[in-house]
């Protein structure tokens, strides 16, 4: 009977150790889950910020590209009216182009034609930096 009692005590002790081990593991798992949750929140915030920056950059490039193509095509076909200058925000230069066209009876139409070719052959970044940021009015 003493052996049975010792065996029972041993089993109870082992069961107690298993319970303590399980509690410790559960505590560590909760701690790990909390850390994982925090890291996931940080990652999600960084991902949202990166996606927002990417979208803003893409919109900026698309807007500059569309303006580049529009200004280039208008310079080729309606450049003598200075329309491409107005599209780029160069009101003074657009008015000057109209006046030059009227004074020379349209002979100065080669200038906007050349500008159109220059606009369309520049890279998007060069076009944006030169004509939209740098505000270069001519050539």
Q: Decide if 138 is inside a domain.
A: no
Q: Decide if 126 is inside a domain.
A: yes
Q: Decide if 77 is inside a domain.
A: yes
Could you read off the pLDDT tens digit of each residue along the chain, which spans 139 residues? 566 667 777 777 887 878 888 888 888 888 888 888 888 788 778 878 877 777 676 566 555 556 889 999 999 998 888 899 998 888 998 899 889 888 888 777 788 999 999 999 998 888 888 888 777 777 6
Contacts 24+ apart (CB under 8 A), 103-108: 106/80, 108/80
User: Rounded to two decimals, what is the model's pTM?
Assistant: 0.53
Domain residues for 56? 2-133
Take residue 96 and report the two structure tokens written for it.
């000057």
Q: Decide if 11 is inside a domain.
A: yes
Q: Decide if 123 is inside a domain.
A: yes
Say if CB 65 and CB 124 are below 8 A apart: yes
Q: Decide if 30 is inside a domain.
A: yes
Helices and strands per DSSP (H, E), number in the chain: 5, 0
Q: Decide if 139 is inside a domain.
A: no
Structural domains in the chain (count): 1
In total, the chain counts a number of residues equal to 139
């Amino acid at each position: 009977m003493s052996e049975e009692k010792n065996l029972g005590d041993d089993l109870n002790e082992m069961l107690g150790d298993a319970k303590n081990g399980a509690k410790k593991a559960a505590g560590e798992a909760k701690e790990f889950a909390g850390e994982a949750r925090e890291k996931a929140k940080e990652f999600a915030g960084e991902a949202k910020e990166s996606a927002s920056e990417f979208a803003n950059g893409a919109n900026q490039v698309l807007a500059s590209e569309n303006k580049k193509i529009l200004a280039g095509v208008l310079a080729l076909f309606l450049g003598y009216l200075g329309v491409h200058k107005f599209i780029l925000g160069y009101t003074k230069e657009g008015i000057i182009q109209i006046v030059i066209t009227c004074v020379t009876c349209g002979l100065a139409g080669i200038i906007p034609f050349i500008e159109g070719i220059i606009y369309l052959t520049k890279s998007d970044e060069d076009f944006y930096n030169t004509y939209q940021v740098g505000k270069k009015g001519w050539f």
